[in-house]
Amino acid sequence: MEGRLLLKNCSIFRADGRIRDGLAVVVEDGRVQRVAEDRAVPVLPGDWEVACRGRLVMPGLIDCHTHLVGAQALPPSGAFLLRNPRARFELQDRLAMALSEGEIEALAAFAMARALRSGVTMVCEHAQFPRLVAEGLAAEARTAERLGIRMVASHATHSGHGAEAAKAQVEANVEFARRYRSHALVRGALGFHSSSTASDDLLRQIGRTREEMGVGAHFHLAENEEDLTSTFSLSGRRVVPRLESFGLIGAGAVGAYARAIDRLEAERLARTRTLVALSPKTTLAGEPGGGGLESVLAHQPMLGLGTGGSGTLWQELLSAFVGAIQIARVGRLLDPDGLMAQMLISGPAELCTMIFGVPCGNVEEGALADLVVYDLIPAKENAGGLAPQVLMQLGEVPVAWTIVNGRVVVREGQLLGTDYVELATNAARALESLWARTGVPPESP
């Protein structure tokens, strides 16, 4: 898009909880160039004007942990979730092995389109297609560029198919990360499935390469007690100390599903600025005993939210809010509202800044132009401009415009330049083909 993008007469939610209205936001070259009073910013020839009419403009959402393809291939159901963790993993792996390149591209495209329409501007993809790592990651990157979503992708490699297969998968992941090292929209991280499914040799290979390249890592942290028990039997250590010994936690690393961690592990995660991606809704459905939020929140690590590829970030935020209120009622959490802002905005924004090297998470000059216009006119109290709990209102509010890197990708609720129904049809055909070949998903536990 040539020329400037102008968001006229918009309201902006600030980090201090106050609303400023009657503003204009000038976007150019992928950045927010200016934020000023609306009357001070005239529309010039060649500008693309977005008439916000007082609607709320927010930084785009970041899904800190998703499975764009795999979550569609095996959607959550009672039959699936009532299986034990090992049986679920084996079923997921069976489907992942059967995926074709065309199916990967079709499913990724539909998942990305859904994300953009829900206000997500960046996804941290934890992919799993062990037979086609290079081809699958390349297909996802092409699709991200075409649809205009920001993506950090890695492959969830594990040791279950043997040492040589794991080594080859990591090498393909490394090559992808090298190729997209400075891309405007797409970056690579080094992934593995989890501590309990990874040998020392696999973790050592990933840790050494991560140190050499200076890229991020992505993994399931301590998904459940079985994960912890398996790790302890493998190494004689808990999950976080084991991963730390291989250089796999720290800035730029994303650890999902941090349920079975203790106080010392929480301290290590906080100290090293490892992003802990919480999925409270997904965890509540997938594991007995609830979401395990309290141990994670005890030392306030860097937090984000992830969908795991199922549902929306707003559903995860609501589940997190319910859990936080329960903890606050017994006096072990002082500020649940601030925690929601950290999970949804500030923690993910810090991760994005680490990876792309540009400030994000605020609508301010110099920040990445990853923005969302919501169909909400925020109400505020007159004296100080405070807007009570805007974040908790947004889950029920339609997304009007989505802008990524200065490019409009959703306009008044519709994908720009792409037929959403066609993407949905292609994804459905891909799933039908995959299920016919594999006999999955199952109908009963």
Tens digit of pLDDT for each residue in 150-161? 999 999 999 999
Q: Are residues 321 and 376 in the same domain?
A: no
pLDDT at 258: 83
Compute the distance between CA of residue 409 and CA of residue 426 in angstroms, rounded to an integer: 20
**Residue range 131-144: average pLDDT?**
99
Residue 445's pLDDT band (cuts 50, 70, 90): very low
Compute the distance between CA of residue 15 and CA of residue 338 in angstroms, rounded to an integer: 10
Task: Please name every residue paired with 57 in a beta bridge, in sequence order, or none if there are none.
Answer: 12, 373
Residue 388's pLDDT band (cuts 50, 70, 90): low
Pairing label, strands 371-374, 56-59: antiparallel
Residue 295's pLDDT band (cuts 50, 70, 90): low
CATH of the domain at 111: 3.20.20.140
Q: Are residues 54 and 106 in the same domain?
A: no
Residue 68 to residues 81, 151, 317, 385, 430, Cα–Cα distance (Å):
19, 11, 19, 39, 14
Cβ atoms of 244 and 272 within 8 Å: the answer is: yes
| Cβ atoms within 10 Å of 413's Cβ, excluding its own | 12
Residue 426 lies in a domain: no
Domain count, the chain: 2
**DSSP assignment of 231-282:** HHHHHSS-HHHHHHHTT-SSTTEEEEEE-S--HHHHHHHHHHT-EEEE-HHH
pLDDT at 329: 86
Compute the distance between CA of residue 371 and CA of residue 119 in angstroms, rounded to an integer: 8
Phi, psi of 86 (to 5 degrees): -65, -45
Summary mean pLDDT of the chain: 91
Residue 324's pLDDT band (cuts 50, 70, 90): confident
pLDDT at 343: 94
Among the residue ranges 202-206, 236-240, 293-297, the one predicted with the least confidence is: 293-297
Residue 435 pLDDT > 50 = yes
**Residue range 94-116: average pLDDT?**
98
pLDDT at 293: 66
Q: Are residues 176 and 191 in the same domain?
A: yes
Highest mean pLDDT among 221-225, 311-315, 378-382: 311-315
Please identify, among 356, 378, 402, the residue that sits at the C-terminal boundary of a domain: 356
Cβ atoms of 340 and 349 within 8 Å: the answer is: no
Tens-digit pLDDT profile for residues 164-205: 999 999 999 999 999 999 999 999 999 999 999 999 999 999
Residue 187 lies in a domain: yes
Q: Is 222 helix (H, G, I), strand (E, B) or coil?
A: strand
Tens-digit pLDDT profile for residues 61-71: 999 999 999 99
Among residues 75, 38, 8, the alpha carbon closest in space to that of 285 is found at 75
Residue 69 to residues 3, 36, 47, 75, 308, Cα–Cα distance (Å):
36, 41, 37, 10, 10
Among residues 26, 115, 106, 94, the alpha carbon closest in space to that of 429 is found at 106
Please identify, among 337, 356, 375, the residue that sits at the C-terminal boundary of a domain: 356
Q: Between 298 and 229, name the one with better pLDDT.
A: 229
Among residues 344, 334, 330, 333, the alpha carbon closest in space to that of 393 is found at 344
Q: Between 99 and 286, name the one with better pLDDT.
A: 99
Residue 383 pLDDT > 80 = no
Residue 424 lies in a domain: no
Compute the distance between CA of residue 72 and CA of residue 86 in angstroms, rounded to an integer: 19
Residue 269 is encoded by which pair of tokens?
């995660």
Tens-digit pLDDT profile for residues 405-417: 999 999 999 999 9
Cβ atoms of 126 and 65 within 8 Å: the answer is: yes
**Residue range 319-345: average pLDDT?**
85
Residue 442 pLDDT > 70 = no
Going through 316-406 in order, the beta strands assigned E by DSSP cover: 371-374, 399-404
pLDDT at 75: 82
Q: Are residues 31 and 159 in the same domain?
A: no
pLDDT at 227: 73
Residue 195 to residues 32, 122, 140, 226, Cα–Cα distance (Å):
40, 26, 25, 11
Residue 69 lies in a domain: yes
Residue 430 lies in a domain: no
Compute the distance between CA of residue 194 and CA of residue 257 in angstroms, rounded to an integer: 10
Tens-digit pLDDT profile for residues 417-432: 999 999 999 999 999 9
Q: Is 373 helix (H, G, I), strand (E, B) or coil?
A: strand
Cβ atoms of 296 and 265 within 8 Å: the answer is: no
Residue 399 lies in a domain: yes
Q: Are residues 51 and 163 in the same domain?
A: no
**Residue pointed to by tokens 């912890």:** 228
Q: Are residues 197 and 75 in the same domain?
A: yes
Q: Are residues 76 and 130 in the same domain?
A: yes
Q: Are residues 104 and 221 in the same domain?
A: yes
Helix axes 85-98, 420-438, angle to 10 degrees: 110
Residue 181 lies in a domain: yes
Q: Which residues of 417-433 are buried (b: 16+ CB within 10 A; e: fewer)?
A: ebeeeebeebbeebbeb
Q: How long, in residues, is the chain?
A: 445
Q: Are residues 47 and 115 in the same domain?
A: no
**Residue range 357-382: average pLDDT?**
93
Q: Are residues 291 and 314 in the same domain?
A: yes
Cβ atoms of 68 and 384 within 8 Å: the answer is: no
pLDDT at 299: 67
Among the residue ranges 9-23, 164-178, 226-240, 267-281, the one predicted with the least confidence is: 226-240
Residue 289 pLDDT > 60 = no
Q: Are residues 155 and 276 in the same domain?
A: yes
Residue 443 lies in a domain: no
| Cβ atoms within 10 Å of 140's Cβ, excluding its own | 27
Q: Are residues 268 and 401 in the same domain?
A: no
Please identify, among 306, 330, 356, the residue that sits at the C-terminal boundary of a domain: 356
Q: Is 66 helix (H, G, I), strand (E, B) or coil?
A: strand
Q: Which domain holds residue 141?
A: 61-356
pLDDT at 432: 96
pLDDT at 290: 46
Task: Please name every residue paired with 127 in a beta bridge, in sequence order, or none if there are none.
Answer: 155
The CA-to-CA distance between both ends of the chain, in Å, stands at 51
Peptide bond into 441 cis (omega under 30): yes
Residue 380's pLDDT band (cuts 50, 70, 90): confident
